[in-house]
Every structure is written in structure tokens, then in C-alpha cells.
Amino acid sequence: MRSYGQYCPVAKALDVIGDRWSLLIVRELLIRGPSRYTDLRKGLDGIATNLLADRLRELEAAGVVGSAEAPPPVATTLYSLTERGQELERVVAALGRWGAPLLAAELPDDAYRSHRFALAVKAGKDRSPSQRPVAVEVRVDGEEPMVVETVGGDVKPRAGTAEHPDAVVSGPTLLIVALLTGRLDLATATSRGVHVDGSREALTRVLPARS
Amino acid sequence: MRSYGQYCPVAKALDVIGDRWSLLIVRELLIRGPSRYTDLRKGLDGIATNLLADRLRELEAAGVVGSAEAPPPVATTLYSLTERGQELERVVAALGRWGAPLLAAELPDDAYRSHRFALAVKAGKDRSPSQRPVAVEVRVDGEEPMVVETVGGDVKPRAGTAEHPDAVVSGPTLLIVALLTGRLDLATATSRGVHVDGSREALTRVLPARS
DNA sequence: CCGGATCCGGGTTGATACTG
DNA sequence: CAGTATCAACCCGGATCCGG
């Protein structure tokens, strides 16, 4: 991308991560941790392979992304965020908070992936480090499940299932999303079709404070 | 811009403000408040006029920017941020914090404008609402001056000069910028060529905590 | 001067095909 | 699996023009 040529912190930041797809690549790495090329491509859902290769090169040159050869038997390249790249979490989180209301109305043809709400969940939750860890499994109708765990006051969401979840929430996409992003409280959500198995208290520990 | 087509808060936000120049237009409106087309063009320094017109239309359609006809004798259109647009301040501030280190090395051919550091100054300062207001004038060698004022715990930077500043800082660009963005403390800055007239205490009230 | 609209050359993106 | 190569469509930047 062409530089803006402005001596300004915002413009300089955009010179590095203002390209199309760049911040979404960072989002993907923030959520998934070190990832293979193919997994990034799947998570980004729609990026052209040449663009992904381009962006990874640019971000690596800028010191945002690093790549490492995984040892055998995996034998593949793993892309991950450098320390500098991790610092973009505040930016991505701020964007996500601002963008959350845009999801409210409907679910058009947009590709749904559970893990994309991981950051929203993480950002919405204030730390209470003293309590025991909990694991909550989230199931959206017809989609891959996701797990939200609290570990020492930090919230760690990830794709997949939990062995012994403290609670399992399930229901239609829009309601679950509204619940996870804090637009809907638990009582209303359950009254409209969200189902909770297990400890409701564990679930509330993981939900954002009502916004 | 083409939509990413992803059901994700970050992607949705980028659908709206991910276009080239869009966030810089928001930055400009955040700093300057309601502005005329021509002033935006000057502040953005390098944007093509068709792009500015396009972006303003898009941002207005998205509910981020509003336009209003100023009454005679001014008789011009004033563009401003809607309430929704104001909420982007957190995003722009986060980007600025991340981008600030990129200014460290040198000042190439980049266009310098004092007001671009307004947000950095504002973000870096924690509120201490109880104290009396101060005004500090910032002068960078060969550039337009800027004023930083505190009003009831809030920091209001703007372009221009102050009538009775509590302090005046002046010096070479790089040192002033490092001081304003918190990379340099006042003692080091003065030892390297930054000059302070008036109350040093007023100045420190306006500087960010050392990062 | 202000606030754009229009046109055009070149660079970027996106879809697909192909390769080690 | 991890990309590179190719090519059409689109977007950006710069210049020019035009009505208040």
C-alpha cells in the first residue's frame, strides 16, 4: 500500500495495518494463536490465496507477524504474532466493540464462525482473578461449537468442545451473539429460546456486563 | 468497498471504516470538530478531491458523518461526526498509541501538522478534574503553533496560539513529538534542546505519564 | 475561492488455475 | 499443504473542468 506520507501516529499505523485484510489476519492470529497458512485461509473465509501470501510477507517485514518452521512430524510453517503484533489487540478490540451493533439487525449471507466472537467475550469481561476457573461451551444451531474458559481472571475463548463444561449454552445464532456481546441479558435470552445446561452462575461469570 | 461478508464485529466495522482515508477523515473531524470540505482537504494533505467526496458520502450513508448547511453569511456545508462517529475515538486513539513508536526514527518527507498530535496528548493524560485550567502553547521549529488546554480534567488541544499561556514549549520537531507522546521526559528533553518559558508545572499537567 | 464532478492511466484486488 | 502465476475487474490518484 502507498504510504499516506503524513507525520502522524494514526497515519503511520494505517501505513502498516491499513491494507485490506491485514487487520483480519491479525484478528485471526490473536484468536487462534500460531496458525498454518491453510487454517488462516479457512478462518478468513474468502481471502484470495495470493493476497494472504502478500499480506503475510508485508506484516512479517513490518515486524507484526513472525513465521517459524514447526519441527517434524508436523513439518509446516506456523505464523504467529510478534510481541509488537500482540499489542494490536487493543486496536482490534476497540474496532470490535464499535462494530458489534452492526450485527444486530439480521444475519444475511455472511459467513458465520463461532471463534470470531472470542475477542468480544474477552474484552467485555472484567477480571475477577480470585475465583475458580470455569468452562462454558457455546453451541450455535448448526455451527461448530466454541468454548469459553476463565483462567485466573483472564478469559480464554477457543474453538472446539470442553471435556467437562460447567455449563452449555445453545440456541439460535442471533440470540447467542446478542448474549455474548452484551446486548441481551440472560433472563431475556432464555425466555426467547436460549437453553442453558449446567451452572447458570458459571455462565454469568463469562458473559460481559450488560452494555 | 466490498463487504468482507463475515458475521464478525471486527469485519463489520472494517466494512464501514476500513476504506483508505476513511479513518483519517474521522481523525480530522475528531480533532477539528465541524469542518468545511476545503479544510478537511488541507488537513488530510494529499487526498484526491474525488475520494474525499466519495468517502464523505459513504460515511454519511453509514451514519458516521453528518453534514449541515451553515447559515449565511458563511453559506457553506459543515461536516461533523454524528454521535456514532464520535464513538470511533477509542478506535483512533488505540491506533495512534500503537503507531506512535513508528515516528521515532526520523522525519522523512512526511507532511508535518501540529494538530495531528492532539489526540495523542489527550489520550495520554489521566484526568485530575479538581485543578485549575492551564493553557500551554507548543511551538515546533518552522511550523504552525498548537495550544493544549485543560478544562475540568479534560485535555483540549487545538491549532493556534493562546492569549495568556501558562507555559510555552518550543524546540525541534522530533524532540517535541517525543515529549508529547511520552517517549521522553521533560528533564531529558530540555537537556537536549527543548526550551520552556513559563510554568514547568503547567506543562507537566499536560504531558502524558511516561510510557 | 469553495465544493465538488468527470475522465483517464496505473496499481490493487479477487477468482481461478497451476505447481512443488 | 503452501503457496505462485495469470488475468479481468475494480479502485485510487492526479489533473482538469465547472457551477455557485
Distance between B91 CA and the closest CA of chain A, angstroms: 5
Q: Which of A1, A2, A8, A114 to mutate to test the interface with B (most CBs of B within 10 A)?
A: A8
- Position A90, amino acid: R
Q: How many A×B Cβ pairs under 8 Å?
A: 160
Asked if B4 and B41 count as a contact pair (C-beta separation under 8 A), the reply is no
> To 10 degrees, what angle do helices A49-61 and A22-32 make?
80
Which pLDDT does position B29 carry in this prediction? 94
* Separation between Cα atoms, residue B14 and residue A36, nearest integer Å: 24
pLDDT tens digits, A130-153: 567 788 899 888 777 888 888 766
- Which bases along strand D come within 7 Å of a protein CB atom? 1-6, 10-16
Mean pLDDT of A50-73: 91
How many helices (H) and strands (E) are present in chain A, helices listed first? 10, 7
3-class secondary-structure state, position B61 = helix
pLDDT tens digits, A87-139: 999 999 999 999 989 987 766 678 888 888 888 777 766 556 556 778 889 98
Residue B179's CB is within 10 A of a number of other CB atoms, namely 23
pLDDT in tens, chain B (211 residues): 889 999 999 999 999 999 999 999 999 999 888 999 999 999 998 899 999 999 999 999 999 999 988 776 667 889 999 999 999 999 999 999 999 999 887 666 788 888 888 888 777 665 565 567 888 899 887 777 888 888 766 777 777 788 889 999 999 888 888 888 888 899 999 999 999 999 898 888 888 765 5
Cβ neighbours of residue A53 closer than 8 Å, sequence gap 6 or more: A37
CA distances from B181 to B98, B102, B158 (A): 11, 12, 16
Judge if the beta carbon of B5 is closer than 7 A to nucleic acid strand C: no
pLDDT tens digits, A42-55: 999 889 999 999 99
- Say which of B7, B18, B120 has its CB closest to residue A112: B7
Residue A102's CB is within 10 A of a number of other CB atoms, namely 15
Asked if A21 and A47 count as a contact pair (C-beta separation under 8 A), the reply is yes
Whether residues A10 and B103 touch (CB distance < 8 A) is answered with no
* Separation between Cα atoms, residue A177 and residue B33, nearest integer Å: 35
Residue spans of beta strands (DSSP E) within B50-151 = 65-69, 77-81, 135-140, 146-151
**pTM of the full structure:** 0.89
pLDDT tens digits, A147-174: 888 876 677 777 778 888 899 999 988 8
**Domains present along chain B, CATH in parentheses:** 9-87 (1.10.10.10), 102-206 (3.30.1050.10)
Residue spans of beta strands (DSSP E) within chain A = 65-69, 77-81, 135-140, 146-151, 154-159, 167-171, 195-198
For the four alpha carbons of B200, B204, B210 and B211, in that order, the dihedral sign comes to: negative
Q: Inform me whether the pLDDT recorded for A181 exceeds 90.
A: no
Nearest CA in chain B to A87: B98
Which pLDDT does position A29 carry in this prediction? 94
Q: Inform me whether the pLDDT recorded for A4 exceeds 90.
A: yes
Nearest to A6 by CA among B153, B31, B85, B192: B31
